[in-house]
Structure 1
Amino acid sequence: MPRSGGLPSVVICRCGAKLGGDLGSSNLALDGILGFGQSNSSMLSQLAAAGKVRKMFAHCLDTVNGGGIFAIGNVVQPKVKTTPLVPDMPHYNVILKGIDVGGTALGLPTNIFDSGNSKGTIIDSGTTLAYVPEGVYKALFAMVFDKHQDISVQTLQDFSCFQYSGSVDDGFPEVTFHFEGDVSLIVSPHDYLFQNGKNLYCMGFQNGGVQTKDGKDMVLLGDLVLSNKLVLYDLENQAIGWADYNCSSSIKISDDKGSTYTVNADDISSGCEVQWRKSLILLLATTVISYLML
């Protein structure tokens, strides 16, 4: 990489010597993991410390065509409304205020979404599904199926699944997460109910109570709720935001000098056939485009 302002442009990377599980198979193999966390050792932090990029990035996960958009820089189009990150946290923690199902709020204790002491809410693109505390899960599940008391729900490989021949978007309610700063995240039925065979759907929201002791009281929102949205991570202002978006289109980003650049989507439909709603693995092949300030 070029040097800027006398600062070295060396980026320290790690290597993986062994892959486990499905990551070692030919159709799901990955070349590695690109770390964009908040720690000083992440690739983004190293590039920002060297004066090469702004400490902002965005992604858009396209579950329709596969692939999506990844860019480093300030997103100027589309406009994204943000919510503050919780200070001094290692992950992308946010303040969740409440959850609606079909416009009706879940009747939950006011402190159930408090941060700290192994609680709180994390936005994590490295997680495929979404996990909520057991009390939240039971209330959410009951309201999602409130108008379908006749549906027989079965457990298949730890997922709650059912037969349904109609349109899930017409038959089931939207789920809305409300965050600090009057920011909402709407999850459509076709996002939280994934198809696992002909007329067979499974619930993407998971009961965190069956997870490890440290994570059972946390809300972990993964790709299930982030799909088909442009998500902006603004570490300069310690905020994160999103907007519903066509992830097969393009976005515009700007650098610190005010110059604007277009970032197009990358389509992997012609590559390896990966259907994350069947395999429960969302494989995002993106074009990483960053403006390196010379």
Structure 2
Amino acid sequence: MARPVIRQHSGQINVTFPLKTDLATSYSITQQSDTLTQQHKHTALDRVMKQLDLLVGLNNVKDFVYEIYAWLYITQCRKEQGLKGAHQTLHMIFKGNPGTGKTTVARILGKLFQEMNVLSKGHLVEVERADLVGEYIGHTAQKTRELVKKALGGILFIDEAYSLARGGTKDFGKEAIDCLVKAMEDHKDEFVLILAGYPKEMEHFLSSNPGLPSRFPVQLEFSNYTVSELLEIAELMVFEREYELSVQARNKLQHFLAAEMRNKHQNFSNARLVRNLIEKAIREHAVRLLYHPNSSKQELMFLSAEDFVPLH
């Protein structure tokens, strides 16, 4: 397992992190300096990476979280030595289709920022257009300010954020955007704003307002899962529910997912589709065994190919 190299010379400590290609599977930091070991054991990093390891794929996102932790930690070290702590804007854009882990990652980031004293609470406030946009003049600003106030100390996560710019110049969505931009200035460093949505729509949204891209220097891509990754997600979901997939059931699920990706790639719901399929299969399994009260433990656990049927 690749580890950072720590060298001490003339009272200074230099930390070299591993290559980014190793970050998804290697993140533990071995501290060869007794002083560093006593002061900080990187428990926050261990906790957050263990949570991320439960998520299939997302290697670029895991690399980013690792980088953010390293920067926050080294910034703390610099301040302790009387050096300037570099400031970076942490407002973000998450681009990805539904079910690619955007909300889950936002929640994990909130807890990390709390542990690293970036945010006081680290909670997640998840909203959409209807929560921000009012029905009359002034109502939108009021609703938006209230939600920002609720998110102070944590993360304000706006899903399908591009919908705020869809109604044209007379739509109240523009008022919500203006109010959010003002809040980013008025409450600087008091909360993190994450705008999320479909990749193409988010690109259009950012291009509609020239001042937006510079306010969101962090833009993360949440790619669609591959068929093998979706199968891995399915097996995790089944395991958590104390079920098992038969070989035939796994093959049927694989073929179904591959067909769905070919036919509905743009609006593919990723892990949400997998969850819905698993839950439907569990209901079909229950119906199949309803009149078999003496079913064995194995029969009560195994999902067969016949339990997997189309959702519609």
Measured against the shorter chain, the TM-score band is under 0.3
TM-score (norm: length of structure 1)? 0.27
Name the structure with the higher helix share.
Answer: 2
Name the structure with the higher strand share.
Answer: 1
- The structure that has the greater radius of gyration is 2
TM-score (norm: length of structure 2)? 0.26
